[in-house]
Amino acid sequence: PPPHLFYQADHGIPPSVASRGRGDVYKRQSQHVFSMLLALVSHLGDYTQAVRAGRWQDSKVFCLLDYPIRELDGITLGIIGYGNLGRRVEQIALGFGMQVAICARPGGGAIPDGRIALDALLATCGVISLHCPLSDATHNLIGRAQLDKMKSTAILINTARGGIVNENDLANALRQGDIGGAGIDVLTQEPPGADHPLLAPDIPNLLVSPHNAWGSVQSRQRLADEIADLIQAYRQETARNCCLPD
């Protein structure tokens, strides 16, 4: 169980008041997923640098098309972790005309209807988005063997937890062009050291954001409001967003 549940048990706090904040951050996190994805399929970073370097100004035609631009329409998005955030990402993906495949729970045994095994997901999807917790079953879930199964044009997005993706393996896969790109918001060590493998300057088609996918102004305000409501519920010994059943 999460650490706060051990604290609850050790201090005699009834399960009815052992609570957690709402999952409203998924609204912001899902936006971040597509911010990264759109930047990668459009090569916005590369084109921005090209303009700053004067390449558009020196062009003999009206535009630059040095980097391939891809549309999301028709691409299959594979979702690993189908909670509130995974479902929100699915809704947005469908709005872009994407197809969606849902991964069976890693280490969960039999594959239920409507889900597909991880290896099949990796082999068939053009985008993989991670939304699962870090656990024994998901630690290094995406490593060298899994990256080898992905399409050479596939994009990996991780806004879940550091440690789900093997960072050295991902860095090498990007350098070698084994996958098309990656957007990473979480790392194993945070803040990372200067020698972190995903911060090397020679890695192409990689976006790294500083674990701020959740951190919009609105999301932080909702979190503060919920903390206040949880404190009030605790004082009144009333249930709110319970972690354990009554």
Coil, helix or strand at residue 176? coil
- Is 211 among the residues known to form the active site? yes
Given 87, 105, 144, 211, the catalytic residue: 211
Task: End-to-end CA distance of the chain: give it in Å, rounded.
Answer: 16
Per residue in 29-39, is it b (16+ CB within 10 Å) or e — as a string?
A: bbbbbbbbbeb
Cα radius of gyration (the chain)? 20
Given 55, 71, 190, 237, the catalytic residue: 190
Given 32, 43, 115, 161, the catalytic residue: 161
Q: Is 81 exposed, middle or buried (0-12, 13-18, 19+ CB in 10 A)?
A: buried
Token duo for residue 29: 């996190």
- Is 131 among the residues known to form the active site? no
| Whether the Cβ atoms of residue 132 and residue 115 lie closer than 8 Å to each other | no
Residue with tokens 């991902």: 170
* Phi, psi dihedrals of residue 52, rounded to the nearest 5°: -65, -30
CA 241 to chain centre: 24
Going by C-alpha positions, the residue among 80, 11, 31 that lies closest to residue 216 is: 31
Residue with tokens 């960072």: 167
- Is 161 among the residues known to form the active site? yes
**Catalytic site residues?**
161, 190, 211
